[in-house]
Chains A and B, each alone.
Chain A
Amino acid sequence: MIATTVSSGVVVLVGAVFLACAVEMVEALTIVFAVGHTRGWRSAFEGVGAALVALTALVAVFGPALIHVPLTWLRLIVGGVLLIFGMQWLRKAILRSSGLKAKHDEDAIYQETVAELENVAPGTNRDRVAFVMAFKGVFLEGLEVVITVLTLGTSAHRLGLASAVAAVALVLVAVVGAVVARQLSSVPENAMKMSVGVLLVTYGTFWVGEGLKVRWPGNDSFLLAFVGIYALVCWILVALIKPKNPSSPVKVDA
């Protein structure tokens, strides 16, 4: 029973952290590739390195600090944040799946970034522009990963595991990204975002309840029931709002 309880929580935690990290890494990598190909790899790697150091420092500072917050309050606050964050992700993924919002297009983002970088005249602060672009891309996308890792990891008392899973996802996406070069557009990003949204709302619901002393039937095992319920709801919502005429034009940004 204990093994089942632990594994349910761990499976959901690992899945949420891994997918969230992978999705954000794909977005960051697109920008880094654009910077590297256009302005040179040295400045791009320096920007990535500086962003990773800044993100690691954030985890090192806030991670241990969060552990000292009383668990009930921590779970209520973290649950609330994850509930909002997860619902935002799900809303976007549902609108994209139904065709009412344009899907995240890594090719378009790559082209936009390249065009932006090419507009800066060669020789004028060249390295600085590349460095800042790569730093911003990795830091801003990474910040969401840091928040996910810190909130999920500390609330589940598994910050080490959450950090390790995030690191594995980071390395894996970087290696795959380097191998497939610019073919990041073939990553099923929307499906991954939908899965992350389901997992974040699952944990958000669960921890808001725990923070308010709700006793879930089956304790941690109830997480899996939430995953199923929210996945089903998403599928129903996509089916309900999908335009009946598939040839109608897709509108960008809701």
Chain B
Amino acid sequence: MKDRPLFLRLLRGFAMFWWDFLVGDTPELFVAALVIIATVALLSERWHDNAVAVVALPVLAIAALALSVRRASRATKR
């Protein structure tokens, strides 16, 4: 590791930081955010259904949070 050029070590550190920051120990939330963005993009930009997009975005975010909390809660209680 130490014999790698400084630039590569910095790049690896930068990539690792963002991985930990966005994915870390909750990959389900990262995937959920991508699904939410894709779904709302379809609703808003392709089907032009603003009313459904307004409701879907927070509802999907709440569902993702609830599922992630439920998963952690079950793992902790086990």
Chain A contacts to B: CB under 8 angstroms: 76, 80-81, 83-85, 87-88, 90-91, 94-95, 98, 100-101, 143, 147, 201, 204-205, 208-209, 212-217, 226, 229-230, 233, 237, 241, 243, 251, 254
Contacts and interface: CB of A to CB of B under 8 A. Distances in A.
22 contacts: A83-B33, A84-B33, A85-B21, A87-B32, A87-B64, A91-B68, A95-B72, A98-B73, A100-B72, A205-B57, A205-B58, A208-B37, A208-B40, A209-B57, A212-B41, A212-B53, A226-B58, A233-B62, A243-B77, A251-B77, A254-B73, A254-B76
B33 to A, nearest CB: 5
Contacts of B17: 143
Nearest to B60: A205
A214 B44 CA distance: 6
Contact of A83 (B36, B50, B73): B36
B30 interface: yes
B22 interface: yes
Given A233-B66, A254-B72, 14 more contacts: A76-B37, A80-B34, A81-B22, A83-B33, A91-B69, A94-B69, A98-B73, A101-B76, A209-B54, A214-B50, A214-B54, A217-B54, A233-B62, A243-B77
B45 interface: yes
Contacts of B40: 208-209, 212, 214
Contacts of B54: 209, 214-217
Nearest to A82: B33
Contacts of A100: 72-73, 76-77
Interface in B21-57: 21-22, 24, 26, 29-30, 32-34, 36-37, 40-41, 44-45, 50, 53-54, 57
Nearest to B56: A214
Nearest to A202: B58
B69 A237 contact: yes
Contacts of A251: 76-77
B76 A237 contact: no
A233 B72 CA distance: 17
Nearest to B39: A212
B70 interface: yes
A208 B29 CA distance: 15
B72 A209 contact: no
B65 interface: yes
B72 A213 contact: no
Nearest to A206: B57
A241 B70 CA distance: 8
B33 A241 contact: no
A237 B58 contact: no
Contact of A212 (B29, B45, B66, B75): B45
Contact of B50 (A80, A143, A215, A230): A215
